[in-house]
């Protein structure tokens, strides 16, 4: 049994950020005790380690989608590629001294609260850990989702998900089926269209697409960004520009109209064929699903070797892919760009709190947590990038850093107290009810099906229904008073 103060699960942006902050505090003599970061893979990176399909990139600007406490002067582009982000995270782990705390190849198979010891017992295939605090940093984009497709197992060719891309996959002369038209699909299609003999795109619903406008930073910009103050000013400007996009998510008529027209103008400019343009026009309000950024998706769809199938893939009959429309398409390779199990993370099946209750059962009606971080019945558990801690309009890194401050404050409190920290049910209920009420009139609950919304309860469980800066105002500081059980009387 390995005794540590804190176990962090996952070495993506959130888990690595937690490790960096803990390591820096320890180096400054302000440590919160010993810690390990458990990672199932063989290196850091999370999303940016796993997703290596051609064209993978971030849709948040480089200088905003990076740690504020570790800015990078030499981002090459306005929007970072997946490879550049992965290099940034590898370098951060190495230079910040986190590598000795990392345990690669150790997927958590069980994590349970020991009431008598007031400790978390965490099991991996190679070790067991006993820790006072458990930090879940497994993220939202870690478990690929493949939809139910009839007779998929009978397909004779390669089947891949974008999150498990095979770099050795030979597409020359192949007929490729691309399932999905979300964020990964719009990045991947132009590359598939250039490499394959033919590509059939299965579109369940048309996405809204706006111009990406990516570009390389020139030498004058890079020279200016060598100054840390200039990087901070750029980051601040990018942040508030992103915040200005939130009123459209509230359905504000002028803001949402402007965003809708921006997408419509992009479609008109790039797609001249009225029939294809109609097929690519969404039938739901803009913002209800993720708004995509691309300058080459629509042109790729109009290549002679690309077919748009305007219905979902229903089943496979050998190499014949049968769409919901009844149309048949002969394929050699099948690529799923169908996202992740985001609203119901499989990791919750492995976590057991007080009275033998699994986190997955506690979240049977959708994820929920006080301050979007702590869950009733699960003492000393902190969930990063979990319930209502993501955004549909700004940088996830900002939200993660807000939660890191909250967790560090909680660890400070635990260092001074023998009692475990467990949020009362009343506090969690009140917080969740407030967020549900705030979400009710947002565009995300306007009627479409999206991964932002829990499919069973219909609740908005992934996104914070407000501005990013209000999340920090509300949840950026740990408050021990919230954990006191109200006295009846």
pLDDT tens digits along 270-313: 999 999 999 999 999 999 999 999 999 999 999 999 999 999 99
Residues 80-124 have pLDDT tens digits of 999 999 999 999 999 999 999 999 999 999 999 999 999 999 999
Query: 328 with 171: CB under 8 angstroms?
Result: no
The answer to whether domain 2-143+341-483 and domain 155-233+246-336 are alike in fold is yes
Look up the pTM and report it: 0.96
Quick check: 488 pLDDT over 50? no
Q: What is the average pLDDT across 472-479?
A: 98
Residues 418-437 have pLDDT tens digits of 899 999 999 999 999 999 99
- How much is the mean pLDDT over the chain? 96
Quick check: 477 pLDDT over 60? yes
Quick check: 489 pLDDT over 80? no
Quick check: 197 pLDDT over 90? yes
pLDDT of residue 31: 81
Residues 355-386 have pLDDT tens digits of 999 999 999 999 999 999 999 999 999 999 99
Pick the CATH number of 155-233+246-336 from 3.50.50.60, 2.70.150.10, 3.40.1160.10, 2.40.37.10: 3.50.50.60
Going by pLDDT thresholds of 50, 70 and 90, the confidence category of residue 251 is: confident
Query: What are the extents of the domains in the chain?
Result: 2-143+341-483, 155-233+246-336
Which CATH class for the 2-143+341-483 domain? alpha beta
Going by pLDDT thresholds of 50, 70 and 90, the confidence category of residue 486 is: low
Q: What is the average pLDDT across 482-489?
A: 67
Percentage of the chain lying above the pLDDT 70 cut: 99
Going by pLDDT thresholds of 50, 70 and 90, the confidence category of residue 487 is: very low
């Amino acid at each position: 049994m390995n005794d540590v103060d804190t176990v962090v699960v996952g070495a993506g942006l959130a888990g690595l950020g937690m490790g960096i902050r803990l390591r820096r505090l320890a180096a400054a003599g302000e440590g919160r005790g010993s810690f390990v970061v458990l990672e199932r893979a063989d290196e850091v990176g999370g999303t940016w380690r796993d997703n290596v399909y051609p064209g993978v990139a971030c849709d948040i600007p480089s200088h905003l989608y990076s740690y504020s406490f570790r800015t990078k002067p030499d981002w090459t582009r306005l929007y970072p590629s997946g490879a550049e982000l992965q290099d940034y995270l590898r370098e951060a782990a190495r230079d910040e001294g986190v590598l000795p705390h990392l345990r690669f190849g150790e997927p958590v198979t069980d994590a349970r609260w020991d009431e008598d010891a007031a400790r978390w017992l965490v099991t991996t295939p190679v070790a067991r850990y006993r820790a006072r605090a458990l930090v879940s940093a497994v993220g939202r984009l870690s478990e690929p989702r493949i939809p139910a497709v009839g007779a998929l197992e009978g397909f004779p060719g390669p089947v891949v998900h974008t999150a498990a891309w095979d770099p050795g996959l030979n597409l020359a002369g192949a007929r490729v089926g691309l399932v999905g038209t979300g964020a990964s699909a719009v990045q991947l299609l132009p590359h598939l269209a250039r490499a394959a003999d033919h590509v059939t795109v299965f579109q369940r619903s048309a996405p809204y697409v706006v111009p990406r406008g990516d570009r390389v930073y020139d030498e004058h910009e890079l020279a200016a960004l060598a100054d840390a103050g200039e990087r901070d000013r750029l980051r601040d400007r990018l942040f508030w520009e992103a915040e200005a996009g939130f009123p459209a998510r509230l359905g504000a008529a002028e803001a949402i109209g402007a965003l809708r027209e921006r997408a419509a103008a992009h479609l008109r400019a790039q797609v001249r064929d009225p029939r294809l343009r109609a097929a690519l026009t969404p039938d739901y309000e803009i913002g209800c699903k993720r708004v995509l950024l691309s300058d080459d998706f629509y042109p790729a769809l109009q290549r002679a070797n690309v077919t748009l199938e305007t219905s979902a893939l229903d089943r496979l009959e050998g190499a014949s892919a049968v769409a919901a429309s009844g149309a048949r398409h002969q394929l050699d390779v099948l690529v799923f760009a169908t996202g992740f199990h985001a609203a119901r993370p499989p990791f919750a099946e492995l976590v057991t709190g007080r009275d033998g209750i699994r986190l997955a059962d506690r979240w049977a009606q959708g994820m929920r947590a006080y301050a979007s971080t702590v869950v009733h019945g699960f003492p000393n558990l902190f969930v990063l990038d979990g319930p209502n801690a993501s955004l549909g309009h700004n940088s996830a890194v900002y939200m993660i850093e807000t939660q890191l401050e909250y967790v560090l404050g909680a660890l400070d409190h635990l260092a001074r107290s023998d009692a475990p920290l467990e949020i009362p049910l009343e506090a969690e209920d009140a917080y969740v009810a407030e967020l549900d009420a705030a979400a009710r009139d947002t565009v995300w609950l306007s009627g479409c099906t999206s991964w932002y919304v829990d499919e069973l309860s219909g609740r908005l469980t992934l996104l914070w229904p407000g501005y990013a800066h209000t999340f920090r105002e509300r949840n950026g500081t740990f408050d021990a008073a919230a954990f006191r059980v109200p006295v009846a009387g």
